[in-house]
Structure 1
Amino acid sequence: MPETVAKIAVDNAAFYFDKPFSYKIPPALREEVAPGARVTVPFGRGNKRRSGLVLEFCQEEDTSRCKEIASVYDRELCENEELFKLVFYLRETTFCTYYDAAKAILPAGVGITIKEYFLLREELLPPALTPRQQSAVEALRARRGRLLCADLLAAAGWKPDARELRELLECGALERDYQNRRRYGGDQITWAKAIPFTGKLTPKQKAVYDWLCTREEGATLKELLYQTGVGRTVVDNLKKKGALALFEQESYREVFDVAGREDPGGVVLTPAQAAVYDPLSAAMAKRAYGCSLLYGVTGSGKTLVFIKLIENALRLGKQAILLVPEIALTPQVITRFKTLFGERVAVLHSGLSVGERASEYRRIKEGKADIVIGTRSAVFAPLRNIGIIILDEEQEGSYHSDSSPKYHARDVARFRAKYHAAQLVLASATPSVLTFSAAKRGEIALYQLPERYSGNALPQVELVDMKAELASGNTFEISRPLARQIQLAVGAGHQVILLINRRGYNTTAVCSSCGAVARCKHCDIPLTYHRQNGRLVCHYCGYSVELTGRCDNCGDSHLRLLGAGTQKVEDQLELLFPEARILRMDTDTTVSKDSHRAFLQAFAGGEYDILVGTQMVAKGLDFPNVTLVGVLGIDHVLGGQSYRSFERCFSLVTQVVGRGGRGAQSGRAVIQTFDPQNRVLGLASRQDYDAFFAEEMQARKYLLYPPFCDLCLIGLTGAKRERCIEAGRALMEILQRLAQGNYRGVPLRLMGPTPFLVERVSDKYRYKIIVKCKNNRTFRALLREAIAALAQQVSLRDVAVGVDFHPDNEI
């Protein structure tokens, strides 16, 4: 008789090996196992416990070789058909595994850690034991007969497949046991505190101990590692010696609370805003899917349109998602919406603790929140009746995930909007060329807000030639024209925003004698000097080393620090304007929880005169008292190696210039550049997007870049450079063979294999193949077949293959 089995995809599977495996359903679990459930199963020869996702049920005649499901630990996707379908969509379109797709959809912290133990059965021990077996038994006896698998292997000096271990398992003297620990719930932060200690310490341990002694209340482990530049092992050894204590502290708190309430009905739209709102609200009422672009200049009042559209969705009994590209933008947006809609607003972004995310997720799932605001991952919020999804600043690259699954929030939002017959609104003052071209072709609706809501003119823009500044002897990062404008603005009681899109103090350390650049020993990238901790830091893998002033290559002491980041600009501002109150915002200063909110509230409250930061200060922020904006170091964005470099530069300059003059006072902007005649900067300073778009389209058509084709990056990662190149060449041959065979007629242009812009990261080499193609089912089938064929070459399986259809930074 046929038996019902569950088809399950397991965790940690390579893409080529990601397929459903058949498992029996134990009678005790029949009520719990369903498509979408996450389970634990024995897998492989050693029956090691793995997490898995139930994909479907099917009937099989012979189930004699099928293993049984061990446990069910999660049913979140069983309860939401749409999100379960999204698993298959993500796997099909992003080339991730089933399980990785499920992990992306569910909030961080929802899941389990599987602990594997060995149990000792004394009565079944054989009479004679080898020395290593005896060591294992003694280790088990010391822990009352139960020991973690890794600890037992270490005690006996065994590998996981050791013959002596198999013998004890086969005779029953050892027995495997598993414990599932849920990672769901409150958030814990690890703290360290010094303990009086007079014993002997290594130099690194003493440096850590001395620093920690200066902190009476202790410090978070994350801060301790950053400030001292050591690894976790040093801290653990200090704990073993009794020099410090590590403890967990609960950090759960209310996600976001605001004082006071307003009636959303009090928001009044201008005629131009109403011309956008009316057709979109009418389409929402008809329950018809639609996608549109809201293209409005900076300060045109797009947020007011969002408020009225979301209010309309609630009136129709529907729900809404509002996405913003940066965590830094969420405090102002959330404050506004919480003031208007109160507890109906939920917040989802990576800055929340695990407990907070769990709490917000439950509120959304239980229908206690109808509006979800957040960054990229909020697009997966478990709403069941969506009426509208809004992507603000839709052109931003942060909507694309760099880790598997490599999805774009715009694509997921489109999938969900179609499922719910909802409206998808893409909004920006500088839309992506891809989106604006779709609107121009009539594929999506186009709505425009060409004037500022306040009626104020856009800021006057001045381009400063930094070559002339250097020639006149000014070696500061702040030009004299900008310094004069800062003095005038601060003197008048106004505020200033300065953008420099590099963090750290100096960007490179170069030897004057041999010309060698201080580089990360794990990545092919220069180290950046951070004055805050006195170290050279890798912004890719986190490796850091103390700045000694001596060259590692030749030993000379003539090490020069070049370039500038936010820390150096902050220092120079303090020298130039000693009376000014200066606030720096970058990923180094916003490490602690709620720091974005605290900083922005302080700036909005007038506690600071000058805000200097990376691109997190460039977009979406609304400070009426800001009358001056300065842009520093824009040339490295303009000269980037991506085909979108001009687009990014135009967007960044336009956005940051638009932060000024939003209140009663008119605004000014100063852009510092070594190329003041540059066409892109000129267009950005005038905020002439239409002219920029026309020129960019001509260039992309000539060079064959999106929107005139689709791009696919196939990444090859491995420990050996030669093996990556070999795998790349083999895959190129396979792709060419398939394109000339069963997939004849599929348009392809292949380039590679070539190294990534940063060839080595965390001791892994990275190569790429670029494919200009038409991203459709046929091409994806070709690519899937090619990757499977490459996996048949066993000698190349140590090279990981990944696919990215939004490789903006590498082309």
Structure 2
Amino acid sequence: MNRVRCLILNAALGPLDYRVPDGMEVEPGSVVACPLGPRTVIGIVWEAKRLPGTDVPAEKLRPLREVLPVPGLPAPLRRLIEWTADYYCASLASVARMALSSGGALKGPATMTEYRLSGGLPERMTPQRQAAIEALEGEQANIRELSGMAGVSEGVLRGLVNQGVLEPVEVDCDRPYDHADPDFAQPALSPQQRDVADRFIDAVSARKFAPFLLDGVTGSGKTETYFEPVAEALRLGRQVLVLLPEIALTEAFLARFEARFGAAPVLWHSSLKSTERRRAWRAVAGGSAQVVVGARSALFLPFARLGLIVVDEAHEVSFKQDDGVRYNARDVAVMRAHFEAAPVILASATPALESLQMAESGVYTRVELPSRFGGAQMPVIGTIDLTEEKPGAGQWLAPRLVAGIEERLARGEQSLLFLNRRGYAPLTLCRNCGYRFQCPNCSAWLVEHRFSKRLACHHCGHETAPPATCPDCGEPDCMVACGPGVERIADEVAERLPEARVFVATSDTLNSPGRAAEFIAMVEAGAIDVIVGTQLVTKGFHFPELTLVGVVDADLGLEGGDLRAGERTYQQVAQVAGRAGRGSKPGEVLIQTRHPEAAVIAALAAGDRDAFYDAETEGRRLAGAPPFGRWAAIIVSSEDDTEARMAANRIGDTRPQVEDCMILGPAPAPLSLLRGRYRYRLLINARRSVQLQDIIRSWLGAVHHPPGVRVAVDIDPYSFV
């Protein structure tokens, strides 16, 4: 092979051909350094017949500069990159970039210097030095990362290094991870769990593609059940990938994993330090990483011997990426298992309608765990009609729910209040003139956060201090909070039950695995009486003393006309209800609603999941909506509203006329301004027989736009804002 075609990690360039210098050995998947003008860029050698390109005369080809010292991307991963780019109408380069997500990993073996506290004290103690020493107890990292942990400047830390308070430690960047032992602690499974686990073990041993839907009620022991095929994969020398929807869930999962296997798994998520990402990437590529637990991006790691994929809480919306390559990790996980010839387990107590339909049609094998482990009973569910049992003025909790919390306090048990709304209040306005505090970058209200004393946009991250006077009329002390967020509910609990120890659990307070671990320890130690939380607490946590769950506003998720609003509300409430009564004590769930007759609320109260799913399925079938039809969205945006609108109109004017395919729009997006960009949307609804991606590529490829316009395609959209 004296010439190769390389996939350059630049979507605008496309594949390029290069000459292979004498003595250099490359093969498909090799990661190489390529000349591009005066620069050197990273490329991946690809099978030429699978990539478009032009056969440039050999004498015009520039030579590759080097093969980087990492294993090449395996063929199954290359096929996954091709499939993902094709299905989600993305460029090959943008998908391939996710597989090379650690630049440091491409540099070969290395050591680095990290720092840790030596136990000494500085000659002169300052408030900043004191804060740094307290914050860095037990930590080890480079100066930049320690600076972020301690909240002080790098100069402060370098001063501590000079005085011997921080000592250097030479670290092998690629030191091996502790070895997981598949026989470390054999669990006592119920007969039902053993039957399911044995089916999974047989699939791992067969080394064939086998998609499973593990449908088990909350508390049925799904994790323990899928740990057994994990153990079998380890015995066979195969690697395992476990996907979790939230970083905050990893600490609870890690404790269970380590108790079963005697060592922690390899982690992969956005909060890892760059050195940790490098170490993990190289261990995965080299085959020494046995089990990887990660967020959706872990799907594109270059596993050497992948033998099993598990997607826990597979129904979760957070598995769908809403920017960049807009892929659904649940579906991509199934395709990765297909290309790797390995089983994949989608585990959930409330499976997505699409997954249930795949099981119904025989594509997935459905295995069920219909009862809780160890004799624990499902909680009793009741509704509180807020039109009849009204909270007091300025209050949001009905008397019956407050009485239930009081009973638990008296018995030394714990309660959980669920409201999927961060902050103190979703809207803040001026009581004098009615001015509403809005984000300058988005068409969204600023949310008041009293804990941090900020007004914040939950879409773009813009924050500002609450002003002393109204920006419009100048009235002082005029701000009025409208509606409840979790902080407001926590305040109400503290006011009505002053003896209760309350904790607000959201992505603001549990924004790292360490903080999540502290929260879990406090709950398990009985140091918290009432948890007030968002969707973060609806899954993954097991608290035996938690016996009451109150859903503050079950109607909240039904607003906005989302295609999946009913299904999503059912999943969230059913999941949070599953936190109650997981130990030996019976649990109770109280759902506050103004619409107890709504199908989703009635199904939850009756505990009749099948009736809800049957009705939802029939509604989707009649509407030609997923899983019976196809949806796709085209989002046009620009920093100039006129430019965005004209570009969207050009796309709309050239829409193809295709049988069994309806194209709606363009229209301003519900969130018409996001992060400073004006947005317009088109929505496509088609039968499953329509070659939707081919139509979209051909249609959009013929329309040209100014440089400031972005056009994004979202196949199988979950967000309609």
Regarding TM over 0.5, the answer is: yes
1:609 and 2:529 matched:
yes
In structure 2, the residue matched to 1:807 is: 717
Higher mean Cα deviation, 426-435 or 596-605? 596-605
In structure 1, the residue matched to 2:213 is: 293
Unpaired segments ≥5 residues, structure 1: 113-179, 190-211, 222-237, 740-744
Structure 1 pair 219/675, CA: closer, same or farther in 2 (3 Å)?
Answer: farther
Structure 1 pair 469/247, CA: closer, same or farther in 2 (3 Å)?
Answer: farther
CA distance in 1, matches of 2:608, 2:308: 30
What percentage of aligned pairs have identical amino acids? 29
2:559 to 633, 639, 652: 639
Structure 1 pair 576/220, CA: closer, same or farther in 2 (3 Å)?
Answer: same
2:453 to 534, 537, 542: 534
Secondary structure in 2 matching 1:705: coil
Amino acid at match of 1:217: A
1:507 and 2:505 matched:
no
Which structure would you say has the larger RCO, counting Cα contacts within 8 Å and 6 or more residues apart?
A: 2
CA distance in 1, matches of 2:442, 2:259: 46
In structure 1, the residue matched to 2:698 is: 785
In structure 2, the residue matched to 1:495 is: 414
What is the CA deviation profile of residues 722-747 of structure 1, one whole-angstrom value per residue up to 9, with x for unaligned ones? 2222222322343415x4xxxxx5x3
Secondary structure in 2 matching 1:691: helix
Preserved contact between residue 399 and residue 409 of structure 1 (Cα < 8 Å): yes
Amino acid at match of 2:720: E
In structure 1, the residue matched to 2:99 is: 105
1:768 and 2:681 matched:
yes
Structure 1 pair 71/520, CA: closer, same or farther in 2 (3 Å)?
Answer: farther
- CA shift, 1:527, in A, is 0.5
In structure 2, the residue matched to 1:303 is: 223
In structure 1, the residue matched to 2:131 is: 217
1:338-377 equivalence runs, <5 A: 338-343=258-263, 345-377=265-297
CA distance in 1, matches of 2:176, 2:396: 38
Structure 1 pair 685/374, CA: closer, same or farther in 2 (3 Å)?
Answer: farther
- CA shift, 1:779, in A, is 2.9
Structure 1 pair 83/420, CA: closer, same or farther in 2 (3 Å)?
Answer: closer
Preserved contact between residue 185 and residue 259 of structure 2 (Cα < 8 Å): no
In structure 2, the residue matched to 1:174 is: none
Preserved contact between residue 716 and residue 724 of structure 1 (Cα < 8 Å): yes
Preserved contact between residue 176 and residue 283 of structure 2 (Cα < 8 Å): no
CA distance in 1, matches of 2:632, 2:134: 41
Higher mean Cα deviation, 688-697 or 512-521? 512-521
In structure 2, the residue matched to 1:96 is: 90
1:349-498 equivalence runs, <5 A: 349-468=269-388, 470=390, 473-498=392-417
Structure 1 pair 35/299, CA: closer, same or farther in 2 (3 Å)?
Answer: closer
1:111-130 equivalence runs, <5 A: none
1:55 and 2:46 matched:
yes
Preserved contact between residue 76 and residue 340 of structure 2 (Cα < 8 Å): no
Amino acid at match of 1:525: A
Preserved contact between residue 550 and residue 589 of structure 2 (Cα < 8 Å): yes
Preserved contact between residue 380 and residue 589 of structure 2 (Cα < 8 Å): yes
- CA shift, 1:56, in A, is 4.5
Unpaired segments ≥5 residues, structure 2: 117-125, 136-151
In structure 1, the residue matched to 2:36 is: 42
CA distance in 2, matches of 1:466, 1:309: 47
Preserved contact between residue 9 and residue 52 of structure 1 (Cα < 8 Å): yes
Amino acid at match of 1:20: P
In structure 2, the residue matched to 1:700 is: 620
Amino acid at match of 1:93: Y
CA distance in 2, matches of 1:642, 1:358: 40
Structure 1 pair 749/74, CA: closer, same or farther in 2 (3 Å)?
Answer: farther
Amino acid at match of 1:41: P
1:329 and 2:324 matched:
no
Structure 1 pair 441/593, CA: closer, same or farther in 2 (3 Å)?
Answer: closer
Amino acid at match of 2:553: G
CA distance in 2, matches of 1:36, 1:256: 24
Structure 1 pair 346/779, CA: closer, same or farther in 2 (3 Å)?
Answer: same
1:218-257 equivalence runs, <5 A: none
Structure 1 pair 343/81, CA: closer, same or farther in 2 (3 Å)?
Answer: farther
CA distance in 2, matches of 1:254, 1:604: 35
What's the TM-score, normalizing by structure 1? 0.76
In structure 1, the residue matched to 2:145 is: none
What is the CA deviation profile of residues 239-263 of structure 1, one whole-angstrom value per residue up to 9, with x for unaligned ones? 99x99999999999999999x9995
Preserved contact between residue 653 and residue 685 of structure 1 (Cα < 8 Å): no
Structure 1 pair 608/810, CA: closer, same or farther in 2 (3 Å)?
Answer: same
- CA shift, 1:520, in A, is 0.7
In structure 2, the residue matched to 1:277 is: 197
Structure 1 pair 669/553, CA: closer, same or farther in 2 (3 Å)?
Answer: same
Amino acid at match of 1:644: R
Amino acid at match of 2:441: H
Preserved contact between residue 219 and residue 582 of structure 2 (Cα < 8 Å): yes
CA distance in 2, matches of 1:804, 1:403: 9
Preserved contact between residue 186 and residue 354 of structure 1 (Cα < 8 Å): no
Aligned residue-pair number: 684
- CA shift, 1:754, in A, is 1.8
Preserved contact between residue 185 and residue 358 of structure 1 (Cα < 8 Å): no
Amino acid at match of 1:752: G
CA distance in 2, matches of 1:365, 1:380: 11
1:522 and 2:441 matched:
yes
- CA shift, 1:800, in A, is 1.2
Preserved contact between residue 313 and residue 387 of structure 1 (Cα < 8 Å): yes
Secondary structure in 2 matching 1:773: strand
Structure 1 pair 239/608, CA: closer, same or farther in 2 (3 Å)?
Answer: closer
Structure 1 pair 570/215, CA: closer, same or farther in 2 (3 Å)?
Answer: farther
Structure 1 pair 436/354, CA: closer, same or farther in 2 (3 Å)?
Answer: same
1:594 to 514, 520, 541: 514
2:74 to 73, 80, 84: 80
CA distance in 1, matches of 2:339, 2:320: 21
1:750 and 2:654 matched:
no
What is the CA deviation profile of residues 497-548 of structure 1, one whole-angstrom value per residue up to 9, with x for unaligned ones? 2222111112111233443321111111110111123221111222222212
In structure 1, the residue matched to 2:546 is: 626
Preserved contact between residue 177 and residue 266 of structure 2 (Cα < 8 Å): no
CA distance in 1, matches of 2:643, 2:158: 45
Secondary structure in 2 matching 1:482: helix
In structure 2, the residue matched to 1:711 is: 631
Amino acid at match of 1:87: I
Structure 1 pair 220/512, CA: closer, same or farther in 2 (3 Å)?
Answer: farther
Amino acid at match of 1:543: H
- CA shift, 1:809, in A, is 1.6
Preserved contact between residue 664 and residue 683 of structure 2 (Cα < 8 Å): yes
- CA shift, 1:618, in A, is 0.7
CA distance in 1, matches of 2:516, 2:220: 24
1:20 and 2:40 matched:
no
Amino acid at match of 1:448: E
- CA shift, 1:663, in A, is 0.6
Rg larger in structure: 1
Structure 1 pair 437/243, CA: closer, same or farther in 2 (3 Å)?
Answer: closer
CA RMSD of aligned residues (A): 3.8
CA distance in 1, matches of 2:30, 2:393: 63
- CA shift, 1:181, in A, is 13
